[in-house]
Structure formats: structure tokens, C-alpha cells
């Protein structure tokens, strides 16, 4: 699904991504772990075309990333952030449904999908609250529902549990795991090793812009 060969990205004469090779298969549930500054966010931003000016080869669903329109990439790949990035002046319902209007779905489709997702992430009854009136864990569940609205194939989560306590962190990862079991490919960036060890997953460890270890179902660290 995502195929990366010999990827390089240079900032200020430094290779922040350094001959990186990586393959993500359809249906994978992957943790991308590595120290701060190891290039994880840069890699995600390259995949969503927020960062350009790299060299190497990247294909998504066998299409050259450089030849896929940004609009199409963002429909295929949805992102969840550490800081939730919700619109503060919009309700839970509006934050989730907004992405449907952007892609021109009918109001009825948007309403049905929003209602379904609100139930799925466990926010029934909180539709009309504003982000400031719900907990951090609930805000991240809004972000997960929003990311799912247009049925992406891939979810990239950049430290999605970084602002959550342990209980809410596990809740979010369990939710992402459930979505994965329903067919969404999930890549989670995290520096939380305890979390990584708690879920069976493919684990990719980045160090100095390279993949150091890539293992299935167990950790060698
Ligand atoms: P991580 O997500 O693993 O913490 P990043 O991808 O954010 O790592 O950063 C990798 C390295 O690239 C860091 O040294 C960071 O300072 C640098 N970097 C990231 N973005 C930029 C940028 N826009 N300009 C210059 N350097 C950057
Ligand atoms: P993230 O961890 O999501 O990359 P940051 O707070 O590290 O977010 O970076 C915020 C912005 O600053 C991003 O656009 C990133 O590319 C840029 N940036 C990060 N590190 C550097 C750096 N060393 N020099 C210049 N820009 C940077």
C-alpha cells in the first residue's frame, strides 16, 4: 500500500531522512517509534504532501506519490494529531461532519455517517458540546471520528496519545485497533514504549532518519 525506497530529506545540510526503506501493507497496524528528532513527523508529512523536496521513490497504492493530487492523497490518508486540532467554535457534531461538506456529500449521507461515527467512538449524547467542555480523551475521539468521515484507507496518527493520561491513551489505541480490524490501515507514531509493548503490532523503529528495526508481533529492544 505504501512503498518507500531510498528516501532522503535534507534540512540545513542534514539528512533528517536518510536512505529510508519502508513498506506498509494494506491492513497493517504499525507503531513507528523513535526518539524526538529521528524524523518521524517529517516522514508522515512527506506522505501527506505537507513536506516536499525529498528524493527517492514513494508509491501509494502503486501510484507515484509525486503524481497523485494532494486532494486525492488527503482523502486516502487521514491524520490524527497529538493536540487534537479541533475547531473550538464548532460542536462535536460539527467538527466531525465538516469534512463531509468539503468533499460534497449530501446532507443526508453526512448526517448518517456522523451519527454512526459518534456512536462508534462512544460520544453519543455529547454531539452538541464544544471541545472545551469535554475531556482530552473525548476530544481525541472526536478527532478519530472526524478522520474516519470520508472513509480513508489509511490513518496516520502523530503521537495521538501524547496529551492523554494512560487510561485514555489505551482507549484511543484500542479504538484505532478496532478500526484496523475493520479494514483501515493504521500507522501510529509514538515514543511511548509501554504502549507499544501492550498491543500486537508491526513495530518500526526509527533512528537518525533510518528504519533500524522492523519486526512483526514482538520487540527486540
Ligand atoms: P520527530 O517527529 O521524530 O521528532 P521530526 O521529523 O519532527 O522528528 O524532525 C526531524 C529533524 O528535522 C529534527 O532535527 C528537526 O529539528 C528537523 N526539522 C523538522 N522540520 C524541519 C523544518 N521545517 N526545517 C528544518 N528542520 C526541520
Ligand atoms: P511536529 O512535531 O508536528 O513536526 P513541531 O512543533 O516540531 O511539530 O514543528 C512545527 C513546525 O516547525 C513544523 O512545520 C516543522 O516542520 C517546523 N520545524 C520543526 N523543527 C524545525 C527546525 N529545526 N527548523 C525549522 N523549522 C522546524
Please state whether 83 falls in left (phi above 0), alpha (psi between -120 and 50) or beta. alpha
**CA 8–ligand 2 middle distance (angstroms):** 17
Strand-pair category, 154-158 with 77-81: parallel
- What integer is the mean pLDDT of 157-180? 95
179-202 average pLDDT score: 92
Most informative mutation of 36, 39, 46, 191 for ligand 1 (most atoms within 8 A of CB): 39
**Residue-level pLDDT at 214:** 66
Alpha-carbon distance 159 to 70, whole Å? 23
CA distances from 202 to 90, 113, 157, 213 (A): 36, 30, 15, 10
How far is 199 from 196, CA to CA, in rounded Å? Answer: 6
Q: Which one is the CATH code of 2-90+134-216: 1.10.1040.10, 3.40.50.300, 3.30.450.20, 1.10.760.10?
A: 3.40.50.300
CB neighbour list of residue 180: distance below 8 Å, 6 or more residues apart: 27, 28, 29, 186
Instruction: Look at residue 221 in the predicted model and tell me its pLDDT.
Output: 43
Q: What is the pLDDT of residues 116-138, one digit of tens each?
A: 999 999 999 999 999 999 999 99
Pocket of ligand 1 (CB under 6 A): 11-12, 16, 34, 36-42
Q: What is the band of 193 on the pLDDT scale with cuts at 50, 70, 90?
A: confident
pLDDT digits (tens, 9 = 90+) for 63-118: 999 999 999 999 999 999 999 999 999 999 999 999 898 888 899 999 999 999 99
Closest-CA residue, ligand 1 atom 19, reads: 42
Closest residue CA from atom 24 of ligand 1: 11
Is the distance from CB of 113 to CB of 100 less than 8 angstroms?
yes
The pTM (predicted TM-score) of the whole model is 0.86
Distance in Å, CA 42 to ligand 2 centroid? 9
61: pLDDT strictly greater than 60: yes
Domain limits, the chain: 2-90+134-216
Q: Which ligand is located closest to the Cα atom of residue 191?
A: 1
Size of the chain in residues = 221
Mean of the per-residue pLDDT values of the chain: 93
Distance of alpha carbon 40 from alpha carbon 133, whole angstroms: 32
- Residue in the structure block whose three cell numbers are 473525548: 138
39, HSE (Cβ side, Cα atoms, 13 Å): 25
Cα–Cα nearest to 148, from 78, 83, 95, 48: 78
Residue range 2-54, pLDDT digits in tens: 999 999 999 999 999 999 999 999 999 999 998 889 999 999 999 999 999 99
The reported pLDDT for the residue numbered 129 is 98
Give the per-residue pLDDT at 101: 86
Task: Report whether pLDDT(171) > 90.
Answer: yes
Probe target for ligand 1 pocket from 13, 17, 41, 42, with the most ligand atoms within 8 Å of CB: 42
Amino acid at each position: 500500500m505504501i512503498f518507500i525506497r531510498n528516501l532522503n530529506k535534507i534540512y540545513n545540510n542534514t539528512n533528517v531522512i536518510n536512505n529510508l526503506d519502508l513498506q506498509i501493507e494494506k491492513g497493517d497496524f504499525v507503531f513507528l517509534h523513535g526518539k524526538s528528532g529521528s524524523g518521524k513527523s517529517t516522514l508522515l508529512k512527506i506522505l501527506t504532501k505537507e513536506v516536499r523536496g525529498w528524493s527517492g521513490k514513494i508509491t501509494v497504492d502503486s501510484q507515484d506519490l509525486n503524481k497523485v493530487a494532494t486532494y486525492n492523497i488527503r482523502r486516502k490518508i487521514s491524520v490524527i494529531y497529538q493536540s487534537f486540532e479541533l475547531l473550538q467554535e464548532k460542536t462535536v457534531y460539527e467538527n466531525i461532519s465538516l469534512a463531509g461538506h468539503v468533499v460534497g456529500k449530501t446532507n443526508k449521507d453526512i448526517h448518517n455517517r456522523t451519527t454512526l461515527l459518534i456512536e462508534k467512538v462512544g460520544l453519543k449524547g455529547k454531539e452538541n458540546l464544544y471541545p472545551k467542555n469535554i475531556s482530552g480523551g473525548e476530544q481525541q475521539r472526536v478527532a478519530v471520528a472526524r478522520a474516519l468521515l470520508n472513509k480513508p484507507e489509511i490513518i496516520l496518527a502523530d503521537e495521538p496519545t501524547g496529551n492523554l493520561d494512560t487510561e485514555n491513551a489505551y482507549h484511543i489505541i484500542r479504538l484505532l485497533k478496532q478500526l484496523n480490524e475493520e479494514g483501515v490501515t493504521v500507522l501510529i507514531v509514538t515514543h511511548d514504549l509501554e504502549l507499544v509493548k501492550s498491543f500486537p503490532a508491526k513495530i518500526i523503529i526509527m533512528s537518525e532518519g533510518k528504519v533500524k528495526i522492523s519486526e512483526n508481533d514482538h520487540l527486540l529492544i
